[in-house]
A and B are shown apart, each in its own frame.
Chain A
Amino acid sequence: MTSHVDAETLALSLEGLLDDEEEHSVRTHVAGCSQCADIREALGEVSGLLADEPVPPLPDSVSTRLDEAIRAERANPASDGGTPSAAEGDGDGRDGRQDREDGPGGPGGAVDDDTAEELRSRAAEVVPMRRRGVARWMPYIAAAAAAVFVIGGGAALLRGMGDGPGAGDTAQTQDQAPHALKEPAPVLVESGTAYTPEGLEAQAGGVLSLAAPELPPQGAESDEEAPEISALPSPSENPSGVSTCVEGLTGEDERTPLVDVATYTADGGAAEPVWVLYTEDASGAYTVSVVSPECTGGAPADAVLDTAAVPAP
């Protein structure tokens, strides 16, 4: 009761997402704490600030470009399966989601339960991705190349690539197939897990058991994009430098097939963004290393915040 309430809890409280007990203690505290009351008031104004933000108008050039792209598509339809993700559609993957509880997270550990809810819901979100298949990049690249071809000069000019569609075309295709490595690159996931020191082993076991069935087998070589794990979401943004970090921390007889982009909360500390490396040794035993993104700075071993042995999946 004496400690302040953090902004996130206050925000959850404003949304009515805390359980009764926690809500009560928040209210009791805020009633006697002007500092927290101020923050709660400020939080209440965030929506208004966002709502007042003027909408940047649609530039005419973009409207024109849209019309042209659609005209080109009509004249010369791209092969089926172009930009697969966007259109996976209506109703797909909703099964099993309808019955999920809409309510707030459970008592006390609102954060934990909520995280779990988030994890479940994000796992569910990913269901449609599975249909895209492991090789989802290939049709995509083809479609992108086709699109550049079709709308060629206009698009290139708009992008400031006035030097000619050819150059732009090549650069784009290369950009989209960045991981042509002999060693399979680690699969990146964003499980939504908020790792903690005491929970690490169990949390890692949970994530690994979801991912394991789809990880490439030991010794696999592949030029393909790392597969996606259907039970776990891919990171919405791929952090740069992960592979440096993985190379620095993976021993000779080991491999690191999985990296979870997550957060870690040390005892008494604040949650910080981390990469959780799942490293497998020759015997098939897994170790997790919780690594701060600072490990791209050159001393990977110093960036390891925590490790644990994980039971084999």
Chain B
Amino acid sequence: MDAVQELPDKELLSRHARGDDKAFDELVRRHRERMWAVAIRVLGDPEEAADALQDAFLSAFRAAGRFRGEAQVSTWLHRIVVNACHDRMRRRMVRPAVPTDDATLDVLSNERAKATASVPDPAGRSDSRMDVQAALEQIPPEQRLALVLVDMMGYRVDEAAGILEVAPGTVKSRCARGRARLLPYLAHLRNPERPRDVTSPRGGDGRP
């Protein structure tokens, strides 16, 4: 047992590929918190995030044999989670177009409404939390992803670039554009006493 916990990620992955049951469990234990953090911030909704996380770990479980060891296991896992989030977002947009009127969707949306509505916190802390999350959902997914990785999770630009498989310059410009888009939504958090008009001098890219 102890041995497994001390092994590096790559060794765990190759043991898993060779059929060692304990190895993958240890990988999950090691990485699930961070993977969760990515998924919940990108998707916003806990149920969606849980689905994405499960998709991702199952994909990793199945694909371990194809891991070539050029990347860090952690980068690889992040990439898988990011892709799983993309798939979720894509499906989320497709779903409402389907006229499934059965109770399932009602139940789901009720659950979701409850989940969002039932967290008021006297300290006002969750207010800000919801505001930031809601603001994040207003910006394009690519920008949101870059900001989640770089600004929220604190990864270096080159790490985020490895995860997203784009050039570091692209990560930077996505972050920059995302911050500019977020600004109008976040202005009140930063300086409650200051009026909103500072954010958008010529009505530029601030969206309603």
Interface of A toward B, CB cutoff 8 Å: 3-4, 6-8, 10-12, 14-17, 35-36, 38-39, 42-43, 45-47, 49-51, 53-59, 61-63, 65-67, 69-70, 73-74, 77-78, 80, 82-83, 85-91, 93-94, 97, 100-105, 114, 117-118, 121-122, 124-125, 147, 158-161, 163, 167-168, 171, 174-176, 178, 234-240, 270-271
Known: A42-B183, A121-B166, A236-B90. A89 touches B76 (CB 8 A): yes
Quick check: B205 and A6 within 8 Å, CB to CB?
yes
**Contact at A90–B36, with CB atoms within 8 Å?**
no
**The residue from A83, A90, A105, A238 contacting B67, defined by CB atoms under 8 A apart:** A90
A6 CB contacts on chain B under 8 angstroms: 180, 201-202, 204-205
User: B11 at the A/B interface (Cβ < 8 Å)?
Assistant: no
Cβ of B15 < 8 Å from any Cβ of A? no
A294 CB → nearest B CB, Å: 14
Write the nearest CB–CB distance from A124 to chain B, whole angstroms: 8
A209 to B197, CA, bound (A): 43
**Of B37, B55, B71, B90, which contacts A90 at CB under 8 A?**
B71
Q: Looking across the interface, which residue of chain A has its beta carbon closest to that of B97? A: A240
B33 and A10 contacting across the interface, CB-CB below 8 Å: no
Interface secondary structure of B, over-half rule? helix
* Residue numbers in A under 8 Å from B180 (CB-CB): 6-8, 10-11, 43
In the assembled complex, the Cα of A143 lies from the Cα of B182 at a distance in Å of 37
Closest Cβ neighbor of B49 among chain A residues: A62
Interface size on B, residues (CB 8 A): 100
List 18 additional contacts besides A17-B176, A168-B104; criterion CB under 8 Å. Answer: A7-B200, A11-B180, A53-B132, A70-B24, A70-B57, A73-B61, A74-B21, A83-B62, A91-B70, A97-B165, A97-B167, A100-B167, A103-B169, A121-B167, A175-B91, A175-B94, A237-B89, A239-B93
For the complex, is B14 an interface residue (Cβ under 8 Å from A)? no
